[in-house]
């Protein structure tokens, strides 16, 4: 469960998030859409404190992450993140990418971490790539490894920051497929994306952001078929 209250974020004098209030319930899939520069990625990055928060609060499973006493490293083990640019560790093999954090952060023995890693690779359909280096993978494969790597920490929540935006079109499907599978299993997800088809099919709720504010927030069918706000209409007319 994620509770975001009056979240504000500024970069210098540039206020990127003005007043964001969102609650994401367990097992819910929330899709965030909006034009570039609307603050949607920043919003996502505030949820695991990759950005320092200027004002307001973010509660993960009831724990306020803006509180100085909170162990942010512990919170982050519960919140997996997938990046637009994959950010795989290029000096490590695929399986080592997945094993690293469980071994170093959770002190899981190598043997067990490897077993778990192979299981996750099977889940994303890349078991045969365990001993390959990330450089030899296609974009879609890299992103699936990145998802497996995040899942290895057994998070309760997964954040996706435009996971398919850096992919060639023919590889988008394979990544979305893995994400759909996750959603079906009941993972709590917040997904920033431009894939409207995914939002419609998988999202429980769609948030439309613009200018650092949440403009409209509805179930997908309502938002896409019957948007109320002018800005939402204008945006959807461009992307649909």
Partner 1 sequence: MDFRWDIIVEYSPLLLKGTLLTIGFSLASILIGTILGLFIGLGKMLRNKWYALPFKWYINFFRGTPLMVQILLIHFAVVPAFIGTTNAIAAAILALSLNSAAYVAEIFRAGIQSIDRGQMEAARSLGMTHVQAMRYVILPQALKRMIPPLGNEFIVLVKDSSLAALIAAPELMYWGRAMQGQYMRPWEPYLSAAVIYLVLTLSLNYLLNYFEKRWATE
**Interface ranges with partner 1 (CB under 8 A):** 48, 50, 73-74, 76-77, 79-81, 83, 85, 87-91, 100-101, 104-105, 146, 149-150, 153
Q: How far is the CB of 89 from partner 1 (least distance, A)?
A: 6
Q: What is the closest distance, in whole angstroms, from the C-beta atom of residue 210 to partner 1 in the complex?
A: 25
Residue number, 91 or 115, with CB nearest to partner 1: 91
Q: How far is the CB of 97 from partner 1 (least distance, A)?
A: 9
Q: Which is nearer to partner 1, 104 or 233 (CB)?
A: 104
Residue 74 or 122 having the CB closest to partner 1:
74
Neighbours of 211 (CB within 10 A): 15
Separate counts of helices (H) and strands (E) for the chain: 9, 10
Closest to partner 1 by CB, 134 vs 220, is 134
DSSP type of residue 1: -
CB within 8 Å of 39: residues ≥ 6 apart = 9, 16, 17, 20, 209, 211, 212, 213
- Count of CB atoms situated within 10 Å of the CB of 144: 29
CB contact at 8 A, 30 and 4 = no
Token match 């209409």: residue? 233
CB of 46 to partner 1, least distance (A): 13
Beta-ladder partners of 23: 3
Residue among 31 and 157 whose Cβ is closer to partner 1: 157
> Cβ of residue 48: shortest distance to partner 1, in angstroms?
6
């Amino acid at each position: 469960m994620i509770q975001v209250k009056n979240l504000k974020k500024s970069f210098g004098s540039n206020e990127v998030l003005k007043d964001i209030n969102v609650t994401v319930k367990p097992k819910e899939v929330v899709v965030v859409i909006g034009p570039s520069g609307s603050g949607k990625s920043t919003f996502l990055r505030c949820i695991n404190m990759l950005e320092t928060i200027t004002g307001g609060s973010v509660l993960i499973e009831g724990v306020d992450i803006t509180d100085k006493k909170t162990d942010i490293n512990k919170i982050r083990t519960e919140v997996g993140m997938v990046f637009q640019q994959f950010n795989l560790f290029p000096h490590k093999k695929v399986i080592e990418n997945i094993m690293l954090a469980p071994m170093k952060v959770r002190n899981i023995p190598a043997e067990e971490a490897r077993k778990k890693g192979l299981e996750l690779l099977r889940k994303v359909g890349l078991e045969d790539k365990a001993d390959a280096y990330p450089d030899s993978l296609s974009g879609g494969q890299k992103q699936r490894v990145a998802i497996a790597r995040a899942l290895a920490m057994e998070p309760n929540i997964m954040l996706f920051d435009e996971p398919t935006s850096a992919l060639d079109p023919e590889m988008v499907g394979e990544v979305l497929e893995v994400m759909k599978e996750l959603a079906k299993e009941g993972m709590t997800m917040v997904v920033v994306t431009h894939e409207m088809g995914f939002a419609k099919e998988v999202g429980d709720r769609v948030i439309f952001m613009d200018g650092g504010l949440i403009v409209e927030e509805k179930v997908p069918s309502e938002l896409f078929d019957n948007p109320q706000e002018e800005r939402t209409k204008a945006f959807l007319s461009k992307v649909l």
